[in-house]
Structure 1
Amino acid sequence: MSLKIIVVEDNFIIQMFLEEVAQNMGHEVLVSTDNGEDLLGLLDTMVSDVILLDIGITGKHSGIEIAEILNVKYKVPFVFVTGNSDHSTIKRAKDSSPLHIIHKPIDEEQLEEELETIEHKLSASKHLEKHR
């Protein structure tokens, strides 16, 4: 299953790493941005299968705040990518119903495994929707 992915990550090196690994696995990275406001503007004209969303992005909204908007307005599955490990942030992140959470630091092999898990979760949810 090839995914159409949007990457929201404010660290340029990590952004490029996410893009490269996803593309090498046959996924299409539609666009990358470093802040949530740009993402919200893009979603009015672009459809993706999943958004890789850093919790600690730049801009006036955190990744968790953007996720809450995604849940209400866009209904697009998102995956948090985070180096944050404090309990309250992770709990708040989980409460926003991400499809998955990827913890940094991450190497190429781990990211490939995480993307495969995301593929399976998306495939299973699409299968469930068809049978409702």
Structure 2
Amino acid sequence: MTKKILIVEDDKMLCAIFEMFIMQLNYELIGISHTGKEAIELCKVNQPDVILMDIHLEGDLNGIETSKQIQELYDIPVIFVTSDIEESTIRSAIYKSTYGFLMKPIYKSSLGVTVEFALSKHKFDRENNS
């Protein structure tokens, strides 16, 4: 079964690159969101298997805050994406999500490996916490 991915990224050029990589890796792109609020709504409607989440988003919610709400509401694994090399930002993202972290620029091979890791870890976590 093809895994469904939601992109949450405010950089439209990067969204296009993610979309190309997702198609080449044989995943299904179920939506692109540019804000945290929109991402939460898309999760409710489309129920992705994994989310690629930029840490710095436009709007009221940043990526870390959005991820926390999505985890609480829908239990969907989130892979954080950022170009921010500030240690505090990286630590915060890692502490909030153990499913994955990618630094920009993103490469197709690292995206594929990270998505597979996130899906496997999420499955393991669900099986061992039920």
Counterpart for residue 42 of structure 2? 42
State how far apart, in whole Å, the 2-side matches of 1:89 and 1:113 are: 20
The 5-angstrom pairing of residues 41-120 of structure 1 reads: 41-106=41-106, 110-120=107-117
Paired residue secondary structure (1:44) = helix
Residues 1:38 and 1:114: Cα distance change in structure 2 (over 3 Å): same
Contact 1:80–1:98, Cα closer than 8 Å, also in 2: no
**Matches of 1:37 and 1:125, distance apart in 2:** 23
Of the structure 1 ranges 38-47 and 79-88, higher mean CA displacement relative to structure 2 is found in 38-47
Letter in 1 for 2:50: V
In structure 2, what is the Cα distance between the partners aligned to 1:121 and 1:62? Answer: 21
- What amino acid maps onto 1:2 in structure 2? T
Question: Which amino acid counterpart does residue 66 of structure 2 have in structure 1?
Answer: I
Contact 2:78 2:99 in 1 (8 A): yes
Instruction: Look up the equivalent residue of 2:69 and give its one-letter code.
Output: I
Instruction: Supply the RMSD in Å over aligned alpha carbons.
Output: 1.8
Amino acid in structure 2 at the alignment position of 1:115: G
**SS of residue matched to 2:44:** coil
Aligned identity (percent) is 29
How far apart are 1:98 and its partner, in Å? 4.0
Gaps of 5+ in 2: none
Instruction: Indicate the larger mover: 116-125 or 17-26.
Output: 116-125
| Aligned residues between the structures | 129
2:27 corresponds to: 27
Deviation at 1:82, TM superposition (A): 0.4
CA distance in 2, matches of 1:44, 1:72: 12
- Structure 1 unaligned residues grouped into runs of 5+: none
In the TM superposition, what is the alpha-carbon distance from 1:118 to its structure 2 partner? Answer: 2.1
